[in-house]
Amino acid sequence: MKQTATKKAPVKKPATKSATPAAGNGPRSQGDSMLHDFFCDELKDIYWAEKHLVKTLPKMKKAATSPDLQKAFADHLETTKTHVERLEKVFELLGKKAQAKKCEAMAGITKEGEDIIEETEKGTATRDVGLILAGQKVEHYEISTYGGLAQLARTLGLAGVAELLEDTLAEEKEADELLTQVAEESVNYDAGSEGN
């Protein structure tokens, strides 16, 4: 006699946590994870970088010849002061004291900018080209840093922190675009016509 298989109701397995949390969901014990510690360490690094730029941007403005470039540096100085305050808010949200740790990358990039000032002739568009290049290196470093930190904040479930970092990221991108505009509209052409 042929046996007919009886269908069993599927057994429902208990839900398991995914190894990769969904966007905005982070580990419950984020404060003691290695990733959280790394994130906080990187915040200290960019905090130092922003504070260092508050001292560096006035020198770049003073060295620039183009009024548009001078204005770009002056405007970004005010924005950078806001970035410092915003990072202090981030530390506050994390329940930590705002601390700076020397950012070797930013120290190197700004040293290169100082070298450009020393190696180019005062009052020339060629110096302005060098300052724009140095300024964009700063912006690109900050864009990559803030982009990475914002993504890590979301991974850690720190939506409020991520939003603050994304605000700064957008402003760094705007500053980079402005420097490109100044270069393309006048400075690069002026430098191309300067003799030796």
Domain harbouring 117, CATH code: 1.20.1260.10
pLDDT of 57 over the 70 cut: yes
In the block, residue with structure tokens 């915040």: 43
pLDDT over 60 (residue 39): yes
**In terms of DSSP H, where are the helices of the chain?**
34-63, 67-93, 104-119, 125-155, 159-182, 188-192
Q: Which of 120, 136, 43 is nearest to 88 (CA)?
A: 43
| 72-94 tens-digit pLDDT | 999 999 999 999 999 999 999 99
Please determine, for residue 61, whether its predicted confidence score (pLDDT) is greater than 70. Answer: yes
Residues in the chain, overall count: 196
21 and 157 in contact (C-beta within 8 Å)?
A: yes
Side-chain-side CA neighbours of 132 within 13 Å: the count stands at: 27
Domain that holds residue 82: 31-189
Q: Answer whether residue 7 is part of any domain.
A: no
Please state, in angstroms and as integers, the Cα–Cα distance from residue 82 to each residue in 74, 89, 92, 114, following that order: 13, 10, 15, 24
- What pLDDT was estimated at residue 192? 85
Residue 140 lies in a domain: yes
Overall average pLDDT of the 26-53 stretch: 85
Q: How many Cβ atoms from other residues are within 10 Å of residue 93's Cβ?
A: 13
**How would residue 18 be classed by pLDDT, with cut points 50, 70 and 90?**
very low
**40 found inside a domain:** yes
Question: Which amino acid type is present at position 183?
Answer: A
Residue 20 maps to a domain? no
Phi, psi of 47 (to 5 degrees): -65, -45
Determine, yes or no, domain membership for 179: yes
pLDDT value at 169 more than 70? yes
Residue 173 lies in a domain: yes
Q: Is the model's pLDDT at 9 over the cut of 90?
A: no
Q: Total structural domains in the chain?
A: 1
Answer yes or no: is 185 within a domain.
yes
Average pLDDT of span 115-132: 94
Look at residue 191 in the predicted model and tell me its pLDDT. 82
Q: Is residue 65 part of a domain?
A: yes
Q: What DSSP character marks residue 186?
A: I
